[in-house]
Structure 1
Amino acid sequence: MFERYLAALEYPAEGGINIDNPKEFRNIVLWLEDQKIRHYTIEDRANLRKVGSSDEWDPAYVKYKLDLKFPTDLKSKSEELTWLFLYAIKLEYSDNADRYRPVTAARKLDEEKKATAAPEIKSTNPFDNIDCELVGLVLSLEGGC
């Protein structure tokens, strides 16, 4: 479900994530904060690092959502994680705007087509370049003289 976001953010694990597993959910939130969002200082992330303890992590996550000004209408972990991914992508883009600005959907599609398209074959046969209409004109002129 989140594969495109994970790929865009260069998440190191393959195979996606299971947000129904509390530890995986906590780890992805921590990874986003550590690597992409960086709202807190390293010291302030201490309680978010306690992914094994819901007694400490859950209140830290509630505070984190308030500090990041999460929209209040998000009702599920999936919606919260989607918001976090999009926020992280926005920050990643703004940090590296010069790198991403020339990348457009059309250019990316062209590059993908070139990478997967059959190789272009250039003919070395000189007869391939003959203009048949011109040859017909020359022959008809020679025949009329």
Structure 2
Amino acid sequence: TRRHPAHRTALSMRQFHAKLTALDVPGCETFDPSDDSAFRGLVAWLEEQRIRHYAAADRAKLLDVNAAAWPEALRTYLADIRCPLLGTEAENDRGSVIEWLLSRAFGDTFKQAADSTAAAVRNPLDRLDFEADDFKRGVQELATLLKIPHYPDHKEVLKACCLLIAQRLSPESISRARDEAGKVRVEKIRLDEVPIGFDTAPGSRSGAELARILRLLYLADLRTLQTQINHAIVQVQAITADPKTDERLGKVGR
């Protein structure tokens, strides 16, 4: 059964308006493709809201729909987006141009949505609610597990957790700790090479040796104190998440 041309035209218009509706084109229900003003407005809207081939600053001529030079701006635009209708009879068929632009708009819209979805999948942290109560509780539980002191700002606590994990729980750190486990470093030094720092009675060898032993014990206490100070600084900087201490060097600063 052959359909009457008028029936095919009505069906085509319904499909056309359905595409406009799917793209959320303003006034899609009453859009008339034969209306020159409506046609220009549609082209400008599709570029600005859906296709977005031009940078915002480069759309001025196409968006100036009342300008006498607008038809030339349209031709330049179609060439820039590589419309295959240019150079054919369909170039002057407004309906064909609109159909192609709508197809291009659909393609670009879906591509933008796919890119956004892919970006979200690549970085799942972007979907986290860092202010949610569950998230705050999780950070506090992690801090407790890592023995990091409580701090009011949960984000700073999270930074401290990340810092501690990176410094102390990396594969390299764990491997080094296993290699050094059970090993005791012993530094041998000749007692007579230790400077006393003061004079003793001539010929008093036992007095000099006793002074050297006391000096070594004093230096050992100082070293223990320095280690404790370094450890305290590291703990404080773990809270502020701004490490500037290298405790291996036994000093503060860069």
Q: If the length of structure 2 is used for normalisation, what is the TM-score?
A: 0.37
Q: Secondary structure at the match of 2:69?
A: helix
Answering whether residue 80 of structure 2 is matched by residue 63 of structure 1, we say no
Aligned-partner Cα distance in 2 for 1:13–1:21: 13
From 90, 94, 112, the equivalent of 2:107 is: 90
* Number of aligned positions between the proteins: 99
In structure 2, list runs of 5 or more residues that go unmatched. 1-12, 118-254
Q: Secondary structure at the match of 1:96?
A: helix
Tell me the equivalent position of 1:80. 97
From 58, 63, 66, the equivalent of 1:44 is: 58
Check whether the contact 2:64–2:70 (CA below 8 A) recurs between aligned residues. Answer: yes
Q: Cα gap change, 1:87/1:26 in structure 2, threshold over 3 Å: closer, same or farther?
A: same
Tell me the equivalent position of 1:9. 23
Aligned-partner Cα distance in 2 for 1:36–1:27: 13
Tell me the equivalent position of 1:26. 40
Q: Cα gap change, 1:98/1:51 in structure 2, threshold over 3 Å: closer, same or farther?
A: closer
1:14 is displaced (CA, Å) by 4.1
C-alpha deviations, 1:31-88, integer Å up to 9, x for none? 00000000011111111121112x2211100100100111133341100100000010
User: What is the identity, as a one-letter code, of the residue corresponding to 1:25?
Assistant: F
Aligned-partner Cα distance in 2 for 1:25–1:16: 12
Aligned-partner Cα distance in 2 for 1:99–1:5: 23
Q: Cα gap change, 1:99/1:3 in structure 2, threshold over 3 Å: closer, same or farther?
A: farther
Q: Secondary structure at the match of 1:83?
A: helix
User: What is the identity, as a one-letter code, of the residue corresponding to 1:82?
Assistant: E
RMSD of aligned C-alpha atoms? 2.0
Q: Secondary structure at the match of 1:48?
A: helix
Q: Secondary structure at the match of 1:47?
A: helix
Q: Percent identity among equivalent residues? A: 32
In structure 1, list runs of 5 or more residues that go unmatched. 101-145
Q: Cα gap change, 1:43/1:20 in structure 2, threshold over 3 Å: closer, same or farther?
A: same
* More RCO (CA 8 Å, sep 6+): 1
Check whether the contact 1:9–1:89 (CA below 8 A) recurs between aligned residues. Answer: yes
1:97 is displaced (CA, Å) by 3.1
Q: If the length of structure 1 is used for normalisation, what is the TM-score?
A: 0.62
